[in-house]
Amino acid sequence: MSFLWPTMLWSLLLVPGLVLLYLWLLSRRKKVALPYAQLALVKEAMAKGVGWRRHVPPALLLLAITAMLVATARPTAVITLPLAEQTIILAMDVSGSMRATDVQPSRLEAMQAAGKAFLTDLPRSVRVGVVSFAGTAAIVQPPTFSREDVVAAIDRFQLQRATAIGSGLILSLAAMFPDAGIDLSQVTGQRNMPAPLGAEPKAQKEFTPVEPGSYASGAIILLTDGQRTTGPDPIEAAQMAAQRGVKVYTVGIGTKEGDTIGFEGWTMRVRLDEDTLKQIAQITRAEYFYAGTAEDLKKVYEGLSSRMVMEKKETEVSGLFAALGALLTLLAAGLSIVWFNRVM
């Protein structure tokens, strides 16, 4: 145990002083009482057991004062506490098709507005990360408690060519499980960095599939128009998430009729691929939402529950000492009332 304000421990020197004061008051009381009482009466009172009981309330009060004095020094201790851990990854499409205006003012702006509205009512105890994907995927904001950092990451989106939904899902899993050793060579467009000279390569961690949808401490929210043009198969990526128990809630941005967009001299017709998004949600035991309103996204958090993990952490325990002091004070007063019909 350590103390944040150790100088206050000098106040414990008051304790032996209080003990000496109590002993002095007892001796003085005896000197005053003996001239007016017969010695036989005193012996009879001692025989009935009153003698030792009269010292219990003052002793408890002394312990209470000691506990409160220790509390003023703000003691800390390394204790093991349960920690509620929840993580949500927003996987957001930044491909060229998101400039379509079949959702006003555009698919991209509607997606950004839905994502930021979702953050407004999300409890601060939940970590949120952001993964953007187009031809490749990137973690634009690692999981964090800061809503301001997440909003800033969403506002920085820039549209790019192609749509790799599978890459976005796989990188979202890697962001949620950073120590799982997920191979990202086909996701980011870059090969994994080789191990330094003389260092042993990291061994691939063993993976045991779990029940789909069983991971209750986090989820992935996929916001896209669902039209994949490159990268890993999104259905295979969804199966990876299902094997890890992670639910992938899919949000369709766009209309089935679609829209015609043009960019740098070319035009193309883009439509919402609901079938793929529904299949991803079904595989992972999640839900599909259309358009991505903030009200729909609230249902995602309602489906999550805390996974309690144990964490060793240095914690201030002055409140425990203060509570102990209060309890001992009440106990001393209660015994004094019951035994002697007075408070101390």
| Paired tokens of 211 | 């029940």
Q: Which residues contact 28 (CB under 8 A, 6 or more apart)?
A: none
d(CA 145, CA 325): 36
Q: How far from chain centre, in Å, is Cα 215?
A: 15
| Paired tokens of 33 | 């009482």
**Contact by Cβ (8 Å): 247, 215:** yes
Name 310's bridge partners: 82
Per residue of the chain (344 residues), give pLDDT as tens.
Answer: 888 888 988 988 888 888 888 888 777 766 655 555 555 555 555 545 556 777 788 888 889 899 999 999 889 888 776 556 688 999 999 988 888 877 778 888 888 888 888 888 778 878 999 999 998 899 999 999 999 999 999 999 988 888 899 999 999 999 998 887 787 766 655 444 344 444 444 455 667 889 998 888 889 999 888 778 888 999 999 999 999 999 999 888 877 776 666 555 556 667 778 889 999 999 999 988 876 555 665 566 565 555 545 566 778 888 889 999 889 888 888 887 777 776 66
d(CA 280, CA 288): 9
DSSP for residue 264? T
Give residue-wise pLDDT tens across range 130-151. Answer: 999 998 899 999 999 999 999 9
Per-residue confidence (pLDDT) for residue 43, from 0 to 100 = 55
Strands 127-133 and 87-93: parallel
d(CA 342, CA 192): 78
Give the DSSP per-residue string, 102-147: SSSS-HHHHHHHHHHHHHHTS-TTSEEEEEEESSSEEEEEEEES-H
**Contact by Cβ (8 Å): 256, 263:** no
The residue written with tokens 């060229």 in the block is 96
